[in-house]
Structure 1
């Protein structure tokens, strides 16, 4: 059985963590498959939006601690370099993905699993979803980009509270503090995520990629950095077929037909 399911429909690629018996915890094979799938999605022009979710009752429980402790006891160096080898490249691919990424969070998202959701562009949570920064409970610090992404979603103080106290945050509280964009009944989670992803897939995907670039530059830089990123990305968008199509559609009072070019 594949630990990662890949499905395509209507320009949307869905990646499903498929270890439901282990709450989709990350093993080395799953991390490697997920990284390869992200790289493939980024390079595939037919993929215009991405949905990430988990099979069964959980989104992703983070690192598989059974595998982790077994390797530690065997003296294997793998547990100590997995951040560099797997988690860091995964988060870089997610944040730099030149198309929209939606995390459809079902059930528990803990540790690295929650961090993957934070690195997505949009997060839709089922009512049973909960987010847990459990690193401190096992004597570890943050990884998978959470120290970068979580404070940008909910602020430094709340992020520090989640990291130090390691208390779960339910779906409604996550919505209230801005951790997620939408909460829906569990039974409607995937259909809602796919509907939104399909809508984005029909949009000006090059412009979406440039919006992501501009926001990233502004988040890390000065006003001048932000203005320069806006200048560059606006010029790049202005040269696209999608921009010309949208302007013509507006002038002629018709719906635009975006190609992503």
Structure 2
């Protein structure tokens, strides 16, 4: 059975983590399959939205500890695993030139939680939860966890989640601003899928180049000075002002009709 499923629906690509019996926890082979799927997305300019989700009852439980070469009493070089697999994965997700939606059902734990947080917009079912489980086994949050958490929810909450390793329900994660939306699926078990599909379809109809630059500019603001950010906005706006989608957006506004963006 493939550990990653890849599908296309017009301009929307979906990558599904597919180890449901292990809560989609990562193995080295799963990393390799995911890397191949991301290459398909990176090399296909017709893809305008990526959805990342998990099969079964969970999103991703992080690293499968059984897949590690662990010997009691011996030293383990986790840095090699992170450097060769998790860090490149997080960087690739952040650098994709289209919106990336994480659709989270059930547990998102350890690196699985931070995999979701690396996406641009996170939708989660009411039953979903986010868990920085690292301290329970003597580690610290990786896969960008120590960067995403304080940026998104502030240092006090980040410190509590990382040190106490408490489960954060999706509803509270939305209230704290960690995720975009908690979808109430208690009466309709397909509510999360419907919400994800609707959001993906909307984003696929929008000016993709502008959305890519929004992603880049907002993340750059975290380390830029105000003059640097103003200069970046100027340069990006100059490029977007010469795009087909800007011309279409203005014409549609003047003609009082819905725009037909192509992503160019």
- Range into which the TM-score falls when normalised by the shorter chain: over 0.9
**Per-residue deviation, 1:77:** 6.8
Q: Give the secondary-structure state (helix, strand or coil) at the position aligned to 1:32.
A: helix
**Number of the residue aligned with 1:219:** 222
**Per-residue deviation, 1:245:** 0.7
**Number of the residue aligned with 1:40:** 40
**Number of the residue aligned with 1:73:** 71
Q: Give the secondary-structure state (helix, strand or coil) at the position aligned to 2:190.
A: helix
Q: Give the secondary-structure state (helix, strand or coil) at the position aligned to 2:140.
A: coil
**Per-residue deviation, 1:42:** 2.3
**Number of the residue aligned with 1:207:** 210
What CA distance in whole angstroms lies between the structure 1 residues aligned with 2:140 and 2:38? Answer: 25
**Number of the residue aligned with 1:2:** 2
Alignment of 1:169-208 (within 5 A): 169-184=168-183, 185=185, 186-208=189-211
What CA distance in whole angstroms lies between the structure 2 residues aligned with 1:31 and 1:138? Answer: 22
The verdict on how the C-alpha distance between 1:78 and 1:190 changes in structure 2, with shifts beyond 3 A counting, is farther
**Number of the residue aligned with 2:60:** 60
Q: Give the secondary-structure state (helix, strand or coil) at the position aligned to 2:2.
A: coil
Higher helix share: 1
TM-score (norm 2): 0.94
What CA distance in whole angstroms lies between the structure 1 residues aligned with 2:149 and 2:192? Answer: 22
Which segments of structure 1 move beyond 3 Å, counting only runs of 4 or more? 74-80
**Number of the residue aligned with 1:85:** 84
What CA distance in whole angstroms lies between the structure 2 residues aligned with 1:82 and 1:171? Answer: 29
Deviations 1:109-130 (A, max 9, x none): 0011000111111010101100
| Alpha carbons 1:10, 1:201 under 8 Å: kept | no
Q: Which moves more between the two structures, 130-139 or 177-186?
A: 177-186
The verdict on how the C-alpha distance between 1:205 and 1:17 changes in structure 2, with shifts beyond 3 A counting, is same
**Number of the residue aligned with 1:247:** 250
| Alpha carbons 1:42, 1:99 under 8 Å: kept | no
| Alpha carbons 1:39, 1:93 under 8 Å: kept | no
Q: Give the secondary-structure state (helix, strand or coil) at the position aligned to 1:219.
A: coil
What's the Cα RMSD here?
1.5
What CA distance in whole angstroms lies between the structure 2 residues aligned with 1:152 and 1:78? Answer: 28
**Per-residue deviation, 1:79:** 4.3
Q: Gapped runs of 5+ residues in structure 1?
A: none
Count of residue pairs the alignment pairs up = 259
Which structure exhibits the higher relative contact order, with contacts defined as CA atoms closer than 8 Å and separated by 6 or more residues?
1
| Alpha carbons 1:12, 1:194 under 8 Å: kept | no
Deviations 1:88-123 (A, max 9, x none): 111111111110001001000001100011111101
Deviations 1:167-195 (A, max 9, x none): 00001111110111111115311221111
**Per-residue deviation, 1:73:** 2.4
What CA distance in whole angstroms lies between the structure 2 residues aligned with 1:97 and 1:219? Answer: 18
What CA distance in whole angstroms lies between the structure 2 residues aligned with 1:34 and 1:150? Answer: 24
**Per-residue deviation, 1:76:** 9.9
TM-score (norm 1): 0.95
Q: Give the secondary-structure state (helix, strand or coil) at the position aligned to 1:144.
A: coil
| Alpha carbons 1:35, 1:89 under 8 Å: kept | no
Deviations 1:106-158 (A, max 9, x none): 00000110001111110101011000001111111121111111211111111
**Per-residue deviation, 1:27:** 0.5
